[in-house]
Chains A and B, each alone.
Chain A
Amino acid sequence: MSGEQQTDRRGFLADGARVVGVVSAGVLGGYLAGQRGQAEENRWQIDPDKCVGCGNCATHCVLDESAVKCVQCFDMCGFCNRCTGYYTLDGLDSRDTAAEDLLCPTEAIIRTFVEGKAGQNFYEYTIDTDACIGCAMCVKGCALMNGSLYLQVMHDRCVNCNECAIAVACPSDAFVNVSADKPYRLKRIALGVMRQKAGKSDTAAQKLLGQVHADE
């Protein structure tokens, strides 16, 4: 067999393989495109009803400072004087604001007096999102009471990893994929409250609801 013939045959084989390659790439692309209506990006989010506040969110995110932060659902909060999300159990008694009496390691929870009513003082607990590191200490604490504090992946920070590093580490399988236009979740109970609030033409609630994915 002459060298030229061999080259010819090789060229022919390569041509054939290339055509097969391009066609199968096209078929694959077409199949996957046909499988879905339109492109929509996914985002990672925490289902707050599943989260057990293990603390992995603070430590496993690929970002230095986790993309996960705490959110206060005020419509579920009791505004308690003795807040188990704010104070450690020792702190509950003394109720002073020394760091060792506070649950939050970064003092990211701001306690403001609101009103005294029927012999009780009520306080509002707001999260300083910049300071919060998503450690879930307060979430676990608050779970003993109303459970109004919950964690969320903040989408101004999250870089939307193909496989979220926290999702891999989450013990309660709480990470879910939501679509990018409604990338947040609420607790099931809060969803009802928020809808009511939005019904009373509360713009803030309407805005939040617009960002919240609800799968019923």
Chain B
Amino acid sequence: MSSRTLPSRTSNANNRRSNVAAFARRWIPGVYHALASVATSKLWITGVCHALASVATLTWVGDAMAAETPELMFPVPEFSDHPIPTATVPEVQGQIAPLLDVAILFAALCLASYFTLVSRSRRNVLLLTIASLLWFGFWRQGCVCPIGATQNVALAVFDPTYVVPLTVVAFFILPLVFTLFFGRTFCASVCPLGAMQELIAVRSVAVPRWLDHSLGLVAYIYLGAAVIFAATRTGFIICRYDPFIAFFRLGGNADMLIFGSCILLIGVFVGRPYCRYLCPYGAILRVLSCFSKWRLSIPPGTCINCQLCEDACPYGAIHPPTVAQTPAARRRGKRQFGFALLAAPFLVAGFWWLGTTLAVPLAQWHPESRLAEQVRLEELGVAETTTDASDAFRGSPRSVDDLYQSALTRRNDFVTLGGLLGAWTGLVIGFKLIYLSVRRRREDYQADRAGCVSCGRCYWYCPVEKVRLGLISDVSEALPDGRTPGGPLVQLTVGGKKP
């Protein structure tokens, strides 16, 4: 049975309101009941049903427009002592005052910043991480989160007809502002996605630097794509590919579960893979964190260059002190910087062009473009079968030309948008090259401004910190056998063991 016969989709029905309708309204119910009771053939009934349904369509829509009392194909009977009930629908639940949501986020950010920067307590950070996972993740079920809010904000900026709830705006902006002052404390212990990965990062291996840097670019491209798709109402891809939403809700479709499980599995060996290589919000926070007023510093006093923290950070976010450069190396560095600077405009231009060629596949992300393609194939007689979407379209009053027109406009838009996405990609790569060619001098072990998520794990390992806490009286007590203060100058192998 086709699904096209849903009554109220028919257009122009009032034009067609006719004697047929009047006739049908009076006679059909009785006739149908009589006929149906003698009919035995399934096919036959199907036919009658179809015929009647289409007549009913005319009757209905006409009535809805013309009269106060629409009559139905089979009128609602009047019973002697049985009033017609009204269905009830449940009230909205699970909604807490939006302001409370924001207040809790604010409190969590304050606590997170306090724990990492002032009280320097890894234990409290960890407790807050678990609490955030339970509250924002499992209780509030992961929506709305600052990561996804990026899309709502993008849509609201580009499309004034969309009204974005103030809660969402606050969720987007609060962590950004906190990061500008305290570093990525949001990532450490407020973000439920980060929390999930934080708790399972138990067997982290070091990712080679070059790979780490290259994969890190993916997050920026993802951010660009997410903004473009959100702004054009193509879809909220960050939400669609949210790794853990299916876990938070204890159920979800297979794709989500598989993707989430993969991230979790990888996360055991590669610390926070989503945060480091995919998270579009993390990409913004990385940049802002470079300008933060205060940020986590590992030793509370003078670093003894023992290298323990570098081994402790599961996210490869601790840089060793630099060794003095030879003049030749310095000249080479300057040359690299020059090349990177020169290459940047070419990268932008090249990727711009590449992006414009991607208009068609990008536009296909929009369901309407896919529908238009399917309908075109059907019209050409190439498509073997129809899809649910094309069936639904054929049952709707919308014309094929209108659909084509809108798909065509969208494709043209995506030439520009694809170009922009390409240019953005080129820009990001260019910046990365420039950034990498600049040498920074470090006297001791320092957390990377962008990469450190302020988790405070390194505190647990730093001997200087242990002395501060009074756990030991001298730094040497915390050093494993054979290791002495002095860092990379003393070439020691770690032997895979952590204290």
| Interface residue? B76 (CB, 8 A) | yes
Pick from B80, B165, B246, B288: contact of A62, CB under 8 Å: B246
Which residues of A sit under 8 angstroms from B177, Cβ to Cβ? 21-22, 25
Which residues of B sit under 8 angstroms from A100, Cβ to Cβ? none
Which residues of B sit under 8 angstroms from A31, Cβ to Cβ? 157
Q: Could you tell me if B79 and A204 are in contact, using CB atoms closer than 8 angstroms?
A: no
Pick from B79, B149, B253: contact of A115, CB under 8 Å: B79
| Interface residue? A40 (CB, 8 A) | yes
Q: Could you tell me if B1 and A204 are in contact, using CB atoms closer than 8 angstroms?
A: no
Q: Could you tell me if A32 and B53 are in contact, using CB atoms closer than 8 angstroms?
A: no
Chain B min CB distance to A116 (Å): 10
- In the complex, what residue of chain B is closest to A154 when comparing beta carbons? B90
Which residues of B sit under 8 angstroms from A62, Cβ to Cβ? 245-246, 249, 251-253, 256
Which residues of B sit under 8 angstroms from A204, Cβ to Cβ? 85-86, 88
**A160 touching B64 in the complex, CB below 8 Å, given contacts A180-B92, A208-B86:** no
**A140 touching B49 in the complex, CB below 8 Å, given contacts A21-B288, A39-B98, A78-B76:** no
Pick from B8, B92, B156, B388: contact of A147, CB under 8 Å: B8
Pick from B40, B143, B160, B170: contact of A162, CB under 8 Å: B143
**A71 touching B251 in the complex, CB below 8 Å, given contacts A32-B164, A41-B95, A145-B74:** no
Pick from B60, B79, B292: contact of A122, CB under 8 Å: B79
Which residues of A sit under 8 angstroms from B239, Cβ to Cβ? 161-163
Q: Could you tell me if A74 and B84 are in contact, using CB atoms closer than 8 angstroms?
A: yes
Interface SS majority for chain A: mixed
Q: Could you tell me if B68 and A192 are in contact, using CB atoms closer than 8 angstroms?
A: yes
Q: Which residues of B233-264 have CB atoms within 8 Å of chain A's CB atoms?
A: 235-236, 239-240, 245-246, 249-253, 256
Q: Could you tell me if A144 and B49 are in contact, using CB atoms closer than 8 angstroms?
A: yes
A80 to B74, CA, bound (A): 8
| Interface residue? B441 (CB, 8 A) | yes
Chain B min CB distance to A73 (Å): 6
Of B186-194, B313-321, B391-399, B422-430, the stretch lying at the interface with chain A is B391-399
Which residues of B sit under 8 angstroms from A35, Cβ to Cβ? 156, 160, 163-164
Q: Could you tell me if B388 and A171 are in contact, using CB atoms closer than 8 angstroms?
A: yes
Which residues of B sit under 8 angstroms from A29, Cβ to Cβ? 169-170, 173
| Interface residue? B7 (CB, 8 A) | yes
Encode contact with A along B151-188: 1 for CB under 8 Å, 0 otherwise.
11100110010011111011001001100110000000
Chain B min CB distance to A214 (Å): 13
Q: Could you tell me if A156 and B90 are in contact, using CB atoms closer than 8 angstroms?
A: yes
Q: Could you tell me if A41 and B165 are in contact, using CB atoms closer than 8 angstroms?
A: yes
A188 to B85, CA, bound (A): 19
**A144 touching B50 in the complex, CB below 8 Å, given contacts A21-B176, A79-B77, A163-B235:** yes
Chain B min CB distance to A146 (Å): 5
A193 to B95, CA, bound (A): 31
Chain A min CB distance to B57 (Å): 9
Q: Could you tell me if B5 and A28 are in contact, using CB atoms closer than 8 angstroms?
A: no
- In the complex, what residue of chain B is closest to A119 when comparing beta carbons? B33
Chain B min CB distance to A70 (Å): 10
A188 to B152, CA, bound (A): 30
| Interface residue? B497 (CB, 8 A) | no
Pick from B72, B82, B92, B173: contact of A146, CB under 8 Å: B72
Binding site for B on A (CB under 8 A): 3, 13-15, 17-18, 21-22, 25, 28-29, 31-33, 35-36, 38-43, 49-54, 56, 59-60, 62-65, 71-82, 84, 89-90, 92-93, 114-115, 117, 120, 122, 124, 126-127, 140, 143-147, 152, 154-157, 159-163, 165, 168, 171-173, 180-181, 183-184, 187-189, 192-194, 196-197, 202, 204-205, 207-208, 211
5 extra A-B contacts, CB within 8 A, seeds A22-B177, A42-B165, A78-B77: A43-B92, A65-B251, A92-B45, A140-B1, A145-B56
Q: Which 4 A-B pairs have the closest CB atoms?
A: A78-B74, A64-B251, A172-B392, A163-B236
